[in-house]
Amino acid sequence: MALSEYASDVPIGHLLRELTPQVLGMVVRRFRDFAAAEDAVQEASIAAVMQWPQAGIPENPRAWLTQVAFRKMTDHIRGESARRRRETEVAEEAARAPLTGFDAAPMNDDTLVLLFMCCHPALAPSSAIALTLRAVGGLTTAEIANAFLVPEATMAQRISRAKQTIKASGIPFQLPGPEERRVRLRALLHVLYLIFNEGYTATSGPHLLRADLSREGIRLARMALQLEPGNTEISGLLALMLLTDARRHARTGSNDELIPLSQQNRTLWDRGQIAEGVALLSAALPKGSVGPYQLQAAIAAVHDEAEHPEDTDWPQILELYELLKRMSDNPMVILNHAIAAAMVHGPKEGLNLLDGLHGEPRIAAHHRLDAVRAHLLEMAGAPQAAAKYYLAAAGKTVNLPERNYLLMQAARLGSR
């Protein structure tokens, strides 16, 4: 059994992750029942994991998985008893029909429809994330549960509820029309971004598993871009992920402590990923309307392209934040804009901008407001006041490494 000796489950896992959404798309298209189809494909994947290591990977693994999933669907429908006899006959006929349509175009459509369905705005973000990772990402429920540090049963329940929501909402299995498509695309981008971010900001739990979420976010964004090659906001999102993830090895120290951008060892940045991100962005930017993901990616690119922190083109970053501010009232954008203004026009300018934000409850309550004020006060040569605000920020953040970082800043300035 030389084969089982050499065939580790890693390539099978990769293969399954790639094939799952394609097979699922085909099964849903044929049987029109997303929830049951998702279960059937998951069972087919489990069958593959159990059988392929011994029997070898079949010549056409996609057809194999599709046949097994079709059989599971037929079993499922049969199991729903004789009162639905007629539906069973239709199903059996569907399952008997020869497998066609393996050409790329309709299959890509199926995967895109799936992606839109799993990232549906009717779902809570945590449900959309879980469903996307399972149905499109091909991860098992246990893997997703591990990554989000919840019990497997809880994650299974979340996925099952998400499927019920989709079923109840009666969304047809087809590409949304142009009007609806914009709304759905925004939700899709947000879900992929959240998956990436969860892995990138991981502060607890098994790090490898969590870092996998960033890779998974990047993989899904690549997949989305392949399905919608001309979409500049997907390009922007993928570029943003690559340009951010490129700094992964430089952003934490040996004790998992946060290292801010200005103090990172830039030789640890992944030049290949930066080049890819910049290329994606350069191709997308001239093509038409520039959305928030492209702008965030552009800001990340300006940082990544500076060999030393003092080479950073802050005027350009400030300009980009001006544009972003017009599209978003998110506190982080407004606070980062104040930092950029301080870097260009001096700390006074930044502090003036912060003073103007008191009337904005979302910003006034944001834990980063104190941190930004502390940073600007330090720049302005007021270490004691800065230390006070670093401490205030440390008391408000819910992120442990960030809390440690802020306490360290206060201590460095001799707060006590």
Which residues are near other proteins by CB under 8 A?
Answer: 124-127, 148-151, 153-155, 157-158, 161, 190, 193, 197-198, 200-204, 240, 292-293, 296, 324, 328, 330-333, 336, 398-400, 403
Nearer to other proteins, 21 or 331 (CB): 331
- Least Å distance, CB 124 to other proteins, is 5
Element (H, E) at 176: none
- Least Å distance, CB 145 to other proteins, is 10
Residue 370: name the closest of 340, 315, 410 by CA.
410
Biggest alpha carbon distance in the chain?
81
Nearer to other proteins, 200 or 269 (CB): 200
**Amino acid, single-letter form, for residue 286:** P
- CA distance linking residue 189 with residue 184, whole number of Å: 9
- How many other β-carbons are positioned within 10 Å of the β-carbon of residue 33? 19
Looking at residue 269, what DSSP letter applies? S
CB 285 within 8 A of CB 316: no
For residue 199, give every residue at least 6 positions away whose Cβ sits within 8 Å of its Cβ, in sequence order, or none: 147, 210, 211, 212, 213, 214, 215, 216, 217
- Least Å distance, CB 339 to other proteins, is 12
Nearer to other proteins, 44 or 128 (CB): 128
Backbone angles phi, psi at 229, to 5 degrees: -60, -30
Nearer to other proteins, 22 or 296 (CB): 296
- Least Å distance, CB 393 to other proteins, is 14
Backbone angles phi, psi at 258, to 5 degrees: -70, 135
CA 377 to chain centre: 35
Q: Is 205 left (phi over 0), alpha (psi -120 to 50) or beta?
A: left
- Least Å distance, CB 136 to other proteins, is 19
Nearer to other proteins, 113 or 202 (CB): 202
- Least Å distance, CB 239 to other proteins, is 13
- CA distance linking residue 190 with residue 169, whole number of Å: 21
Nearer to other proteins, 193 or 314 (CB): 193
- Least Å distance, CB 410 to other proteins, is 18
Nearer to other proteins, 261 or 385 (CB): 261
- CA distance linking residue 201 with residue 332, whole number of Å: 15
Nearer to other proteins, 108 or 201 (CB): 201
Both tokens of residue 142? 């246990």
- Least Å distance, CB 401 to other proteins, is 9
Element (H, E) at 192: helix 178-200
- Least Å distance, CB 203 to other proteins, is 4
Nearer to other proteins, 9 or 256 (CB): 256
Beta bridge partners of 258: 252
Nearer to other proteins, 16 or 274 (CB): 274
CB 200 within 8 A of CB 218: no
- Least Å distance, CB 42 to other proteins, is 17
Nearer to other proteins, 84 or 207 (CB): 207
Tokens 């998974």 identify what position? 216
Residue 245: name the closest of 216, 282, 205 by CA.
216
- CA distance linking residue 363 with residue 302, whole number of Å: 26
CA 403 to chain centre: 25
- Dihedral over Cα of 172, 174, 177, 179: its sign: positive
Beta bridge partners of 163: none
- Least Å distance, CB 202 to other proteins, is 5
